[in-house]
Amino acid sequence: MLEREARMALCCAVEPGSREVTRQVERDGAEATWRTLLEPGSRSRWARRAQALDLAAVQAATSRLRLRFIVPGDDDWPAALGDLSGCEPVQDLAGAPHGLWVKGSVELAAAVDRSVAVVGARACTAYGETVATDLAAGLGAHGVTVVSGGAYGIDAAAHAGALAADAVTVAVMAGGLDQLYPAGNSGLLQRVATHGVLASELPPFERPTRVRFLGRNRLIAALAPATVLVEAALRSGARNTVSWATACNRVVLAVPGPVHSATSATPHRLIRDAEAVLCSGVEDVLELVQPLGRPAVERPSQRRPLDDLDCDELAVFEALPARGAMPTGEVSLRAGVPLGTCLGVLDRLSHRGLVAQRVDGWQMARPPSHSRG
């Protein structure tokens, strides 16, 4: 049996993240590991599955569904997944996938080369959904691929935001790619396949389970150099993705929410415990994932036109009425600035476009972006 076939067989017979099998593959290779499962009297828990597997049927289904099966060494294989081999186990799962079934318009490796994972609660709030959508759209507009898990809530909002920006998005599934789960997101996930990539380490006709969702989370975390947690209650599957991201030495960001919101409990705890960087928008994410040597992310300027005025200039400007004009002498009196100085100040303010001279005196040229109180 060839290495590729052995890896496909292992994906079919062994549950994702099996520490025992992944370590054996790392040590002996996929072909040797598969042979040990087929040996009579094998004591592996996966032996019965292995011996009952009809690999030819799986290969036929893969071809019929127009899926691609990729393995380490393929051009389409993301090198970042190799980091899972050195990670400490999370909830007793460990190791890189043996292979992946993929479907989409772009290669997976190219899609995740510059990417960010956006994850969170299925039962999200309207606030969380809006933040995830806007964040994903903003990342997409900057050429960043959004990786998520295709689930309801934050996942779906993240994929939808990326698609709205006509950007690439990747959905990592916890079951086979023949029948997309959840069914309510099938239309969205079909669009993901059209504009990005669907990926799974489960063969066709395999359904999601709790353990498979946890195994899927490790792929989401490993594929992207950064993971953003938008919303998650204290007990949330999205917290598991963050644990994997930390184990893989990935950047973790968390979006703050209302202090009384249960769905923001985990982001708040991560920020408080310095396990995540506070994320208030796209610029925060880009600043952390921008490759060295690229220009820094430009943030909107917080400076206002009046910030550069000296004391006399500000006094003269503040002396002008909000509406109408005022003679120079009265401006000088109200500002407490000598008349000659006041004339020079008004001239400078006029050149800056802050005041204008009329027949009956001076007036503000625009409403001040400055509070008088």
Q: Tell me phi and psi for residue 145, to 5 degrees.
A: -75, 135
pTM as predicted: 0.80
Give the β-pairing of 169-172 and 197-200: parallel
CA proximity to 17, closest of 75, 126, 93? 93
pLDDT 10s digits, 284-339: 999 988 764 444 555 555 567 787 888 898 899 989 988 888 999 999 999 898 99
- Sign of dihedral through CA atoms 56, 60, 63, 67? negative
- Least confident range from 168-177, 262-271, 286-295: namely 286-295
Measured CA angle at 83 (ends 78, 84), to 5 deg: 100
Question: Domains plus CATH for the chain?
Answer: 1-53 (no CATH), 66-289 (3.40.50.450), 305-364 (1.10.10.10)
* 249 burial level (CB within 10 Å; 0-12, 13-18, 19+): exposed
Q: State the chain's mean pLDDT as an integer.
A: 91
